[in-house]
Amino acid sequence: MASPFRGFAAVFYKEVLHVRRDPGTLFFSLLIPLMQMVVLGFAIDTNVRQVHTVVYNADGRQESRELIDRLKNSDTFNVIRYVENDHDLNDEIIGGKARVGIKIPVDFSDRLIHGMSAQVLVLIDGSDSSVAGQAINVTTAIGLDESLRREVTDSTAPFAVDMRPKLLFNPDSRSPNFFLPGLTAVLLLNVTTFLTAFAIVREKERGTLEQLFVTPVRPFGLLLGKLLPYFFIGFFELCNILFFMRFVFRVPIHGNVFLLALLSIPYLFVCLSFGMLISSKANSQAQAMQLAFLTFLPSIFFSGYIFPRETMPIFFRVLSYFIPASYFINITRGIILRGAGLQHLWIDGLALTAMGTILLVIAARRFSNKVIMT
């Protein structure tokens, strides 16, 4: 009688050979879980630390400097800049450079010396609810602590140092307001990078690409002709997402929608060019899928979509500058939540345009050298 396990060894050996012949698949299947582990365990610090903070110290005397030192020593705040007026204080936050602004009034020291209650204004960017919560807690705690060290002669005021937090942009701390603008960047990847990557790989699989290369079609003609339809699809999808965000999830858009549309063009361009580059490398749709996922995960984890970029270790923070979604998330949150204008965001648009151009040129070179032909 034949054993029910007949053929086991043969099939086992054959499968081992398949795996060895295709190290790419093995690499990805081993790398992705490891990457997720590293990201979740190491790169992501849910404790909010070193929040970028801007300080307007209108008082400037001993007592006010002591307060600032205490805030700095809390590890929650990282004072990146001192400004001299209210306008700059606001602008730093709208531009996304700082998430917390602290204003110490001109009579702060005087009031404390005279035993009166002194108020400190704490402006908090409410677009990230975890950062906002932590900022409120820590500033209030420091205020209480300072107050305990001082005597208040005016019995009507309970605290000597009265921290007055004020949430900007997202006063209700609604999480859709925070997540949806970032999600836009991730969702757009789906209809851009993935679709274009497949579009050319499909032609490779069918053999039509080979046919095209024997015609006078030039690389840029081919790439742009392939790219443009997906650009319109991506743009249409952006409009859908914005519509749902505004009218279904009721996220208010504080800035100019047309500016958002304008600045989404370079982002779509980068994503599409990346899809082209993938399709120049991949020889099958499965391979294209793997490569596209390789861009998808960093766009979720390292772009600031879920975890603030400020709290990442230096390596991942540097990495985030190479991820297009980082810039676009800054753009969407800036315009939608903080009402930022072109003067705050032009550099993000420029970075995206540069990335897209570089990627497209690399892809076109690969096509003109026919390196994709095997």
Partner 1 sequence: MTDAAQTVTGAAISAQHLVRRFGTFTAVDDISFRVEKGEIFGFLGPNGSGKTTIIKMLTGLLPLTGGDAWVQGIDVRKDAEAVRENIGYMSQKFSLYDDLTVLENLRFYGRIYGLSPERMKQRIDDIVQLNGLSPYMNRLAAQLSGGWKQRLALGCAMLHEPKLLFLDEPTAGIDPVARRQLWDLLFELSGHGITFFVTTHYMDEAERCSHVAYIYYGKLIADGTPADLKQLPDVQPAGTARVEIITPQVTRALRLARHIPGIRSATIFGESIHALVEEHFNLADLRAQLQKDGIAVTDIRPLTASLEDVFVELTYKHQALLEASRG
Q: Is residue 374 involved in binding partner 1 (CB under 8 A)?
A: no
Q: Is residue 371 involved in binding partner 1 (CB under 8 A)?
A: no
Query: What separation in angstroms does the CA of 366 have from each of 126, 198, 216, 279?
Result: 45, 17, 17, 10
Q: Is residue 156 involved in binding partner 1 (CB under 8 A)?
A: no
Q: Is residue 207 involved in binding partner 1 (CB under 8 A)?
A: yes
Of 97 and 370, nearer to partner 1 (C-beta) is 370
Q: Which of 190, 198, 177 is nearest to 299 (CA)?
A: 190
Stretch that binds partner 1, among 206-214, 231-239, 241-249, 343-351 (CB under 8 A): 206-214
Count of alpha carbons within 13 Å of 193, Cβ hemisphere only? Answer: 27
In angstroms, the CA 180 to CA 243 distance is 12
Of 111 and 226, nearer to partner 1 (C-beta) is 226
In angstroms, the CA 237 to CA 137 distance is 39
Least distance from partner 1 to the Cβ atom of residue 203, Å = 8
Of 71 and 372, nearer to partner 1 (C-beta) is 372
Q: Is residue 373 involved in binding partner 1 (CB under 8 A)?
A: yes
Of 62 and 208, nearer to partner 1 (C-beta) is 208
Please identify which residue in 14, 87, 206, 250 interacts with partner 1, judged by CB under 8 A: 206
Of 106 and 373, nearer to partner 1 (C-beta) is 373
Using an 8 Å Cβ cutoff, are 161 and 70 in contact? Answer: no
Q: Is residue 284 involved in binding partner 1 (CB under 8 A)?
A: no
In angstroms, the CA 81 to CA 92 distance is 9
Stretch that binds partner 1, among 21-29, 50-58, 145-153, 209-217 (CB under 8 A): 209-217
Lookup result for tokens 């209210």: 86
Instruction: Report which secondary-structure segment, H or E, holds 83.
Output: strand 77-83
Of 208 and 343, nearer to partner 1 (C-beta) is 208
Q: Is residue 370 involved in binding partner 1 (CB under 8 A)?
A: yes
The string over 297-332, giving b where at least 16 C-beta atoms fall within 10 Å of a residue's C-beta and e elsewhere, is ebbbbbbbbebbbbbbeeebbebbeebbbbbbbbbb
Q: Is residue 1 involved in binding partner 1 (CB under 8 A)?
A: no
The amino acid at 133: G
Of 9 and 214, nearer to partner 1 (C-beta) is 214
Stretch that binds partner 1, among 62-70, 104-112, 205-213, 331-339 (CB under 8 A): 205-213
Q: Which of 269, 228, 261 is nearest to 242 (CA)?
A: 261
Residues that bind partner 1 (CB under 8 A): 206-208, 210-217, 370, 373
